[in-house]
Amino acid sequence: MNPRLITVKQNLVKTKNKLRRALEDIDRSNQYWREGVTLNRRRIAQGYVGLEKGHLDHRLFTKRRIEKKVKAGFALASDHSTSLNGGRHTSCWAEICYLLGGIHSLADSLGIKSSSGIVRFNHVYSNNSASSPNCPHVSVAVDESMHWKDAYLEPLLSYKPRGGTSLISYAVSAIDMALRMDDVTHRIAFFLTDGQCREKQYLESLRLQALGEGVTLVGIGLGVDGRGLPNRIEGNSAEEISVKMVDRIVEVLRA
């Protein structure tokens, strides 16, 4: 097993109980009692007498606890631009692959659905003032019906990045993946990048649009200034990001 991936997994496992507790707290807050579901047969006579006297016997009705089970889903969309090939000791693409493996493993251990994809895009020439002239294309890395296997790491590492950077393409792809998840109550859409482009100015608007559809958008900046990324997480390596990852997810969930 790759030692870097092991370290990333260990960092996430150390703090995963914080995430479990956050989900359990949300579970408890979603439970409530509903009165008046059915009549309490043992109180029918007393209840009738009370009504005749103008008094309502609340024990005349049974109560039922209603539970709305929290089911979280993580969608991860990754930058795959040429700049990811650089790096003095390791490429940024390798760092992203370690993060993908670690986050998928974390999700699997907590029963959270997760899916990931690699995003490239075509430039579509247009005269309009759209936030991005790019049309994203996603290559699925791990489907939500799958569980992460460490054997997936080598094929991912060998998939050589190329092309330019489009932050909107990555964010939109993550949101679309999150929305396609079935039977999920809390959708978090992560996009991972090492890049900067003029599209960053539109990310706040996209974050708000996603929130309106029930999706929380999180930008992960690897070796890059994370200012301007929605609910940002930033660091210079997969290990550094994995140390702070769970705390940030918990903040997002509680918000």
37, with CB counted inside 10 A (0-12, 13-18, 19+), is: exposed
Give the pLDDT score at 32: 47
Q: How confident is the model at residue 195 (pLDDT cuts 50, 70, 90)?
A: confident
Nearest to 199, CA basis, from 118, 123, 115, 138: 123
Q: How confident is the model at residue 144 (pLDDT cuts 50, 70, 90)?
A: very high
Residue in the block written with tokens 């579901």: 37
Average pLDDT over every residue of 148-159: 95
DSSP letters, 93-130, are: HHHHHHHHHHHHHHHHHHT-EEEEEEEEEEE---SS--
* pLDDT tens-digit series, residues 122-132: 876 554 555 66
Domains recognised in the chain with CATH numbers: 3-26+69-254 (3.40.50.410), 32-66 (no CATH)
CB 171 within 8 A of CB 77: yes
Residue 170: pLDDT above 80?
yes
* pLDDT tens-digit series, residues 216-233: 999 999 988 888 999 999
Give the pLDDT score at 255: 81
